[in-house]
Amino acid sequence: MTVFADYAPWYDLLYQDKDYAAETSFVEARLRDHGVSSGKLLDLGCGTGLHALAFSRQGWNVAGIDLSHEMIASAKARAAQAGLSIPFRQGDVCATGPERDYDTVVSLFHVASYQTSLDALAAMFRTAHAALKPGGIFFFDYWYGGAVLAQGVETRVKVIEQKPLRLTRIAQSDHDEQAATVTVNYTLFCEDTDRATIHRVDEAHHMRYWFPFEVEAALRQCGFEPAGSHAWLSDAVPNTKNWAAYSIARKAAQS
């Protein structure tokens, strides 16, 4: 079963508290720090398109790719409803596509941690590399290993009420320290409180946590010059308090 197939219809509701506009501004500021402030932007693993639309509203010429048909369908519907022309396509970011001459490539909300081997991570980096102009900037985030190991995994429950819907998500995680992976077993109970119906969805998400040293080595192998790794939404070094880190890299001018 494709991951995010059954999960997709509930995705935006589950993350309604995530501030996509603020995250987009943060990423734009980091891109500006590295000399890129406008032009063509490719979103790898764009999901339902929330960052892509935010970038488009800021004037970027945006395209997006995602593995999940359901997430891409949602992104297309959202762009059409907003009157924005954003080419979204279903595809694997680990397979180099036709995209070329981008000023920047972004990959946000842990897409790099859905790549659970070094080969898959490098394949994703090669897709970004092929899409970028020489000198272009790649920005992406991932689960930071130091924080995952320090904090450990635990079962989490999230309840969201949006009448008449009540969504209860249980996330039970299995940690394999030798493989540096965490399998998050999601169970969603989707209730219609008016009709007294309940629908259950089960999906396992296999994730890999990374350390900046291994991410940066893979970037170099793929023709990038790493330009820093930090804790998410900050300029601090990755640290045990924050599961998310981001890295920035420049496509070497000669590669």
Ligand X SMILES: C[S@@+](CC[C@H](N)C(=O)[O-])C[C@H]1O[C@@H](n2cnc3c(N)ncnc32)[C@H](O)[C@@H]1O
- Residue 93 as a binder of ligand X (CB under 6 A): the answer is yes
Helix (H) or strand (E) holding 149: helix 145-151
Of positions 10, 60, 88, 109, contacts ligand X by CB under 6 A: 109
Longest dimension (CA), the chain: 62
- Residue 51 as a binder of ligand X (CB under 6 A): the answer is yes
Residue 31, SS3 per DSSP: helix
Q: Decide if 146 contacts 117 (C-beta within 8 A).
A: no
- Residue 47 as a binder of ligand X (CB under 6 A): the answer is yes
Of positions 41, 46, 132, 245, contacts ligand X by CB under 6 A: 46
Bond into 87 cis (ω within 30): no
- Residue 45 as a binder of ligand X (CB under 6 A): the answer is yes
- Residue 138 as a binder of ligand X (CB under 6 A): the answer is no
Min dist. Cβ of residue 253 to ligand X (A): 28
Min dist. Cβ of residue 140 to ligand X (A): 10
Two tokens, residue 251: 């496509």
Q: Decide if 251 contacts 220 (C-beta within 8 A).
A: no
- Residue 71 as a binder of ligand X (CB under 6 A): the answer is yes
- Residue 68 as a binder of ligand X (CB under 6 A): the answer is yes
Q: Which stretch binds ligand X (CB under 6 A): 67-75, 174-182, 226-234, 238-246?
A: 67-75
Phi, psi at residue 74, to the nearest 5°?
Answer: -70, -40
DSSP designation for 47: T
Question: Where do contacts with ligand X occur on this chain (CB under 6 A)?
Answer: 4, 45-47, 50-51, 65-68, 71, 92-94, 108-111, 114
